[in-house]
């Protein structure tokens, strides 16, 4: 799934943003950007299941092992 940010502006002026395709705490890195784009401050956060999942990051030291060979 590609990473996306869905922003909703409600009739009362409140703004709701949802990150899609992010795992782990990477979504929190977007808060300063969203605040700047919307000229608003975050007052509440709800965390989806993806927030609690570990983000898999490969480094040069990681090796791929094929167990079928």
Do the Cβ atoms of 23 and 57 come closer than 8 Å?
no
**Cα atoms found within 13 Å of the Cα of residue 26, Cβ hemisphere only:** 15
Pairing of strands 4-9, 15-20: antiparallel
State pLDDT tens for residues 8-62.
Answer: 999 999 999 998 988 888 888 989 998 998 899 999 999 989 888 877 665 566 5
Residue 57's pLDDT is 60
Identify the helix (H) or strand (E) that includes residue 36: helix 31-38
d(CA 66, CA 34): 41
For the cut 60, the answer to whether the pLDDT of residue 68 exceeds it is: no
Q: How confident is the model at residue 64 (pLDDT cuts 50, 70, 90)?
A: low
DSSP code, position 50: G
């Amino acid at each position: 799934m590609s990473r996306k940010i869905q922003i909703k502006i409600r009739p009362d002026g409140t703004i709701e943003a949802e990150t899609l395709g992010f795992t782990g705490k990477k979504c929190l890195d977007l808060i300063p950007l969203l605040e700047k784009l919307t000229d608003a401050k975050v007052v509440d956060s709800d965390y989806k299941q993806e927030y609690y999942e570990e983000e898999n990051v490969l480094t040069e030291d990681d090796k791929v092992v094929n167990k079928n060979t």
